[in-house]
Structure 1
């Protein structure tokens, strides 16, 4: 009897040991799998300076469809000839390749923007809080809990500059600006009545037109990529040697930067990268710092915010900033083909300001009341389109 009990105990002991060994083996395998994934993901991350989370604006990527194939920083479909050295990222030595451009996403889809504008124009504001940049701006919280940045501006020109910059981006096919809609501060309207006391305390003029842009939390700061920091000659295209060290997410981000450079030159927006270039006179490391009015989403998209200096005020102070605008423009000789094509079309038509106003008027009920470009400003825009078109052509001819 005693022998049988001891035998049974040994069997149970062996079973327990085997079970423990199995659990340990499973844990080890899980850990190995986990770290292999971490190591794999680490090799796919874009080369960028570390950014701190910014309590400002971030895309809700779940609310918008993606263009072409979906871009995920963990996985990219790459032509077999480009798996290792990232060859063929540039076509004709001046245009981003079609396969690489195809990895880009539409940051804000047209249909999504249309629905957002329709929703926000009737939304009731229940609270105005500090935030969204300048002290004159406010963060509006609507009855349904959604939020938007309200830009009152120091004067109406800032609201107009923000709005026209947004619609110029639409003409260029650049989708990196958050959705925008105009609203009139009618204190008796359902939209603004609940916060009429706040508006009076802010000394906002009743009846003034303000811009509303989608609020996007949890984004990070954006840093100027290394090719654009030195501004000595053309930073792009990069050398073949440097290309081999660039990850695909980093190259996809560079595509957006080249769009931004053309966009900021056309709008003469000095309150982003150009202000950094200007500050090099006394701050040798300014190009390593976070970029003004530019944010990055968790999916790696750039968002061009606070474009109040564009087109109107930027054109007014061109004499002070044009030297630095030209320096930034000359830093890149690689372009998105679709952006270059639209610039060529506007150059050929000779009526970019008219096209801009027609789009703006078609989508904004307050367009006529807020106004548009003056004749002088319209001519300045057309001239700057010609400069960009010439720059692209010279890059093509110099290869």
Structure 2
């Protein structure tokens, strides 16, 4: 998109504003880099799996023959594309929560950093808030057993495979009480009765966060497929729509990991608590920038797969509550479905990034098959949404 602006002061103002919003890059001209979808005439359903990356040239706010600008009113036409995708324009407003380089640097920094304070915090009684010598803080999750730490870790790397950046950076550490890392808080660890040499997860502590309520539209649409009418969308703010986009990723992610300790537990509790949906969601926080944080994923994958019989009905209800998707996430799901072995992709990434991966363990063959089956179910759900929307 190119705006011809003669006044130098206006150029600076426009560039600063647009770059601050995270929707443009400055290369001498203001340009929007957007995803677009190639629609094949033979089957509209193929839209979901034919995502192309385009750069659109726009003059005076024209896009695909339609007038559009940052200040244009929000409508279904510019918020949702091809009935099932959040629009490229809207998606461009949602930046990564944690950058790739930040995650890499943070992992390397904390793996051997010296812990000087270990105190209550980070949710469950078994968790602790650690402060390192340089002032960095992290949530330490010991877990009732090693499977919870494994579930937390594999959930983190599955999110990375899916391109979902809402999970705080994670690293593993061994509780070697004679090591420089843990020696200063040895007394605290012994008082907690944590097993020496147990492997714990460290996740970045994010301050100034708030609880999150399930959006009203999802509460009303459990199992019916999220449908946003033109009238509904026109009454929504862009901020709210960007949050809904993150919810669509969360719903897909929690289904794949079979994490029952977040939204699913709310759905389950409706049997005896009609107002449970009016309370904040478990293990979900929001930053001051409006990013959702998918925290405390210990119930995901390993433990979640073990108790599927108890929760699967509610997992299916949750998955059915959303029929609008981020195109980049759909593309990743499609790639993992076609691979036929998502567990192999996951474990390869996990072992490449985590020095303690082989010691902590990995997915069993049974759970590997469960993951692939759930990838296939999500893929089919996306296809079905193209038919009913």
Q: Over aligned residues, Cα RMSD in angstroms?
A: 1.9
3-state SS of the aligned residue for 2:111? Answer: helix
Unpaired segments ≥5 residues, structure 1: 1-64, 71-76
Of the structure 1 ranges 98-107 and 229-238, higher mean CA displacement relative to structure 2 is found in 229-238
Correspondence 1:221 to 2:211: yes
Shift of 1:318: 0.5
Q: Which one of the candidate residues 288, 303, 315 is aligned to 1:298?
A: 288
List aligned pairs for 1:1-399, cutoff 5 A: 68-69=23-24, 79-80=68-69, 83-88=72-77, 89-399=79-389
Q: Which has the higher contact order (CA 8 A, sep 6+)?
A: 1
- Measured in 1, the distance between the counterparts of 2:250 and 2:208 equals 22
Q: 1:358 to 1:81 in 2, by over 3 A?
A: closer
The TM-score, its normalising length taken from structure 1, stands at 0.80
SS at match of 1:138: strand
Report the Cα offset of residue 198 of structure 1.
Answer: 1.1
Name the CA distance, whole Å, in 2 between partners of 1:166 and 1:310. 10
Larger helix fraction of residues: 1
Q: Distance in 1 between matches of 2:318 and 2:203?
A: 27
Alpha-carbon distance between aligned partners in 2 of 1:398 and 1:200, rounded to the nearest angstrom: 57
1:381: Cα distance to partner? Answer: 0.3
Q: Is the 8 A contact 1:220 1:297 kept in 2?
A: yes
In structure 1, what is the equivalent of residue 64 of structure 2? none
Kept after mapping to 1: 8 A contact 2:74/2:238: no
Q: 2:300 & 2:131 partners in 1: Cα distance?
A: 26
Counterpart contact for 2:85–2:325, Cα < 8 Å:
yes
Greater Cα radius of gyration, structure 1 or 2: 1
Aligned length: 330
- Does the CA-based 8 Å contact 1:150-1:210 persist in structure 2? yes
- Comparing both structures, which one devotes a greater share of its residues to strand? 2
Query: Is the contact made by 1:234 and 1:331 (CA closer than 8 Å) also made in structure 2?
Result: yes
Deviations 1:22-64 (A, max 9, x none): xxxxxxxxxxxxxxxxxxxxxxxxxxxxxxxxxxxxxxxxxxx
Q: Secondary structure at the match of 2:210?
A: strand
Superposed displacement of residue 324, structure 1 = 0.4
How far off is 1:232 after superposition?
Answer: 4.6
Deviation at 1:284? 0.9
